[in-house]
């Protein structure tokens, strides 16, 4: 895999683990925590949502789903 793909996978995994640990977080909180643009956070959240790992119970808030996942 290319270095940029590795970086993206690592970032998405970190975002997922952060949401899972905190419960419900806002998009703004993720931007502040990870120091990346809102657009990048949104793309990463779309990947997680597509894979049924997070959902948005209300606009701008995110929670982890109960889907079982093995994080390595």
- Domain contains 51: yes
> What pLDDT shows up at residue 54?
97
- Domain contains 71: no
Q: Please give the residue range of the domain that contains residue 28.
A: 3-64
- Domain contains 72: no
- Domain contains 31: yes
- Domain contains 69: no
pTM: 0.90
> What pLDDT shows up at residue 71?
72
Structure confidence by residue, pLDDT tens digits, 4-63: 889 999 999 999 999 999 999 999 999 999 999 999 999 999 999 999 999 998 888 999
How large is the angle between the packed helices 27-34 and 38-50, nearest 10 degrees?
Answer: 110
- Domain contains 21: yes
> What pLDDT shows up at residue 23?
94
Task: Provide the 8-state DSSP code for 30.
Answer: H
Distance CA 71, CA 8 (A): 15
If DSSP codes are grouped into helix, strand and coil, which group holds residue 71? coil
- Domain contains 44: yes
CATH (domain of 33):
1.10.10.10
Q: Please give the tally of structural domains in the chain.
A: 1
Altogether, the residues listed in the chain come to a count of 72
């Amino acid at each position: 895999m290319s270095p940029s793909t590795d970086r993206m996978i690592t970032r998405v995994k970190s975002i997922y683990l952060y949401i899972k640990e905190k419960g419900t977080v806002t998009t703004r909180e993720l931007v502040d925590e990870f120091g990346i643009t809102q657009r990048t956070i949104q793309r990463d959240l779309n990947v997680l949502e597509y894979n049924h790992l997070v959902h948005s119970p209300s606009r701008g808030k995110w929670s982890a789903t109960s889907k079982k996942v093995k994080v390595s």
